[in-house]
Structure 1
C-alpha cells in the first residue's frame, strides 16, 4: 500500500487483538463482515483510520483493538455459516463484538439467540441494533446527517433532549385539549350552557371547530415532519403508532371534504351518521400518548412480545365458551322440562352468559334457573378463573421485563439530557 491509496496491496492483514489474518485484496470486497468490507472502498489513510484503530502502510496491516477470541468465533461463522457464543464469555460482551463487526442477533444460532434474549431480560438491558448503528452513523456522518438524526430523535424520543421534552409536552397538551372538546361537545346541554355562562361565552369566540382545526393542524405538521426526517419511509408507514396517527387525522379531512362537496344538501343529511362516526375516530388521539408515557409503551411492547400467549388465552376462552355454551343451552332450554329458560334459546346466546361468568363480571341479565344449570354455572366460573390465570403469569413477567428495558433506555436518554443541559 501507499500514501493516499488505501487498500491496494495484493494481500491485506487484519491484526485483531494480536492475532493476524491474511486475505487477498479481492476477498475483502464482499467480506461477510461489514466493517472489513468497508476497507475495500477506502481511498485514503484517513478513511482507513475511521474503520480500524491503526494502519501500517508498508505491510498493509490493519490493527483492531478488539477481543481476539471472540473474533475467532466470528471467523468460524464466516467459514461455516454458524455463529455461537464463546464459552465462558459474557453474552452481552460477545454481542457487542458482533455489532462492532457488523453482525446482528439474527446471525446467531437459535439456541444462542434465546440465551441472548434471556441475558438481556435478566440484566434489564435492551440495546437496539438500529439505535447502535444510528449512534455510530451520527458520530461518523456528515453535518446534514447529524442534523437529521437530531431532528429524528427530537420527534421520536421525547426524553432525548430539552427540545424533545418541550415538543412532547406541547403535543400532550393538544391531545388533552382535543379530547376535552370532543367529550364536551357530546353533552346534551352544551349549546344551552354555552349561552348562559360567561366562560362559555368566551369559548364561543373560540368555537370547538376552531380548536379542532388548530389541533389537527398541529398533529398534521408533526406527522409530516416526522415522515420527512425518518430514515426509512416505508418502515415509517408500517409502524403501528404512525398508522394510528393517520387514522386519527384522516377523518377530519374526510369530513371537511364531504361538507365542502355536499354543503347543506340532503346528501349531507344521509352522510351524517358516517361523518359522526369519523369524528369519533378522534378518540385514537389518546393512543398518541404512548409516545410520551412509559406505561403505555410497556403495554404495547408486552402485547407484541406475548402474542403467542394472547392467542393461547383466546383459544382457551373459545373452547370453554363452546363447551359450556352447548351444555347450558341443553340444560336450561334443550331438555324436555317443565321450566324452560328462554334466555338460553340458542348456543350463541348461552355463549354470552359463559364469557360473562368466566370473567366474573356477572351482569345478571342472564342466569340459570335449574339446579343442573346452576351447578354448571359454578363450574364455569371456577374454570374461567383457572384458564385465565394460566397465561396471565407469562404476560405479567413479560410486562415487568419490558417495563425495566424501556426504563433503562429512558434513563440513558436522561443522562444525555442532563449532559446537554449542563453544557
Structure 2
C-alpha cells in the first residue's frame, strides 16, 4: 500500500496533527513507523482505528493531550507527564505509541516507579486473556516479593522487617563481642557459633526467597544491597567449609588471616539496615544522584592537596635540608597535613614551625572551608528532595496499610 507524499493527518481523539509522510518514517514511535510498511488497508486498520484515503487521515481513539506531549517530546527531546493526568494512564499512552519509561525525564521516571510499585498493573489487554491460575500465581508472587522487598507494604512485611533488623543487631553484637578477651573461652565460643549459625540461616533464607520471587534475576544480583548481602553471607560458608576440610586446629586455621578478614566482613550487615530505615535510604539515594558533585568535590581536594603540599614541603623543609622540619620531608608526607588541615580536623601530629609555613597553613584551612562548601548546596538540596520523595512513598504505604487493617 502506498501513501501520498503530502502531509499525513493524525486525528487523535478529535484533534488533528499534521505530519509529513517522510517524517513518520523517522519518528521514534513504532506504531507510526509500522503504518508506512503496511501493504493493505487491513494491516493498516490493525494499527489505527480508521483511515480516510482521500484526505490521507489516520484516526486514533486515544488521548489527544497525551499525544500532544509526545509530539513535543519528538520536537524538543524531553518527555514529561501531562499535568492533571494519571501517570499510569499516560504510561499506557506511551506504550500504545511505542515509547518506553526510559524516554521519560528522571523526575517523571521516579513518579512512575512510585505508582507502579503501588500495585500489580497490567497495561496490555493480552494479559487479561491468560488463565486464572497463572494470574493468581503472578499476584501471589508479586505479593510475596513486596512482602520481602518493601517493609511498609503490609503488616506481615513489617513483622518480617522487624525480625530481620533484630537478627542484624544480634549478628553485629555477637561479632563485636567475639573480639573481647573474655569471650574467647571454649564454652562461650560454642554458644557464639550457634547464634551465628541461626542468624546466617535466617539471612540465607531471606536472600534466597527474594531471589526466587524477583522478576529479573540478573537485575536482582546486580543491586548494591544484594551484593552486600552476598558479601556478608559467603564468608561464613567459606569459613565453615575451610574448617571442615582442614580441621579446627590446623595450621591454616591458626594463621588464617584471610579467614579473620572474611569473618570481619560480616560487619557489612549494618548496611542491610538501609532496607528498613529511611535515613540510610536517603543517604544512599543522595550519593547515587550526586555522584558528579562528589567527583567535583574530590577534584577540588586533590588540586588543593597538590598545591599546598608542594608549597609546605618547600617552606618547611626544602629551603633548609639540614635543619628543616622533618615532618615535611616529602610531598606525600605533607599531603597528610594538608588533608587534615582542609577538613579542620587538625590532629596536631605535624604542624608548620616557620612563619611562612604558618601563613600557608592559615590559607590552607580557609581554602578548605571554601572549597568544601561549594558543592554542599547541591548535595543538600538533593538530600532534601530524596528525603521528601522517600517520605511521601512511606506515608502512602502506611495509609494503604492502615486502610487494609481497618477493613
TM-score range, shorter chain: 0.7 to 0.9
1:244 — aligned with what?
Answer: 228
Cα separation, partners in 2 of 1:366 and 1:62, compared to 1, 3 Å: same
1:71 aligns with 2:67: yes
Q: What SS is found at the alignment partner of 1:382?
A: helix
Q: Distance in 2 between matches of 1:350 and 1:105?
A: 50
Tell me what 2:399 maps to: 415
Cα RMSD (Å)? 3.6
Deviation of 1:76 (Å): 7.3
- Residue aligning to 1:234: 218
Deviation of 1:126 after TM superposition, in Å, equals 3.4
Q: Following TM superposition, by how much is the alpha carbon of 1:205 offset from its aligned partner in structure 2, in angstroms?
A: 9.7
Cα deviation code 1:251-280 (max 9, x no counterpart): 00111111111112223323x211111110
Maintained 8 Å contact 2:290/2:379: yes
Distance change (3 Å), C-alpha of 1:98 and 1:134: same
Q: Distance in 2 between matches of 1:367 and 1:33?
A: 70
After TM superposition, which residue ranges in structure 1, 4 or more long, deviate above 6 angstroms?
A: none
Task: Structure 2: give runs of 5+ residues left out of the alignment.
Answer: 1-9, 18-24, 36-45, 51-57, 129-133
1:405 matched to 2:378? The reply is: no
Separation in 2, partners of 1:33, 1:421: 44
Alignment of 1:1-80 (within 5 A): 17-18=13-14, 32=30, 67-74=63-70
Please state if 1:265 is matched with 2:250.
yes
Residue pair 1:95, 1:105 contacting (<8 A) in 2 also: no
> 1:384-404 deviations in whole A, cap 9, x for unaligned?
000000011110110000000
5+ residue gaps, structure 1, are 1-13, 22-26, 38-47, 49-54, 196-203
Seen in structure 2, the aligned counterparts of structure 1 residues 63 and 338 have a Cα distance that, compared at 3 Å, is: closer
Which of 152, 159, 164 is the equivalent residue of 1:159?
152
Partner residue in 2 for 1:43:
none
Give the C-alpha shift of residue 92 in structure 1. Answer: 6.8
The number of aligned residues is 357
Q: Does the aligned pair in 1 maintain the 2:153–2:401 contact within 8 Å?
A: yes
TM value normalised by structure 2: 0.78
2:332 to 348, 355, 358: 348
- SS of equivalent residue, structure 2 residue 120: helix
TM-score (norm 1): 0.75
> Where do residues 9-408 of structure 1 align in structure 2 (5 Å cutoff)?
17-18=13-14, 32=30, 67-74=63-70, 90-91=82-83, 93=85, 97-101=89-93, 102=95, 103-107=99-103, 113=105, 117=107, 126-128=111-113, 131=116, 135-137=120-122, 142-191=135-184, 204=188, 207-263=191-247, 264-270=249-255, 272-336=256-320, 339-408=323-392
Distance 1:82 1:163 in 2: 46
Other structure's SS at 1:317 match? helix
Task: Pick 1 or 2: higher relative contact order, CA cutoff 8 A, min separation 6.
Answer: 1
* CA distance in 1: counterparts of 2:306 and 2:252, whole angstroms: 45
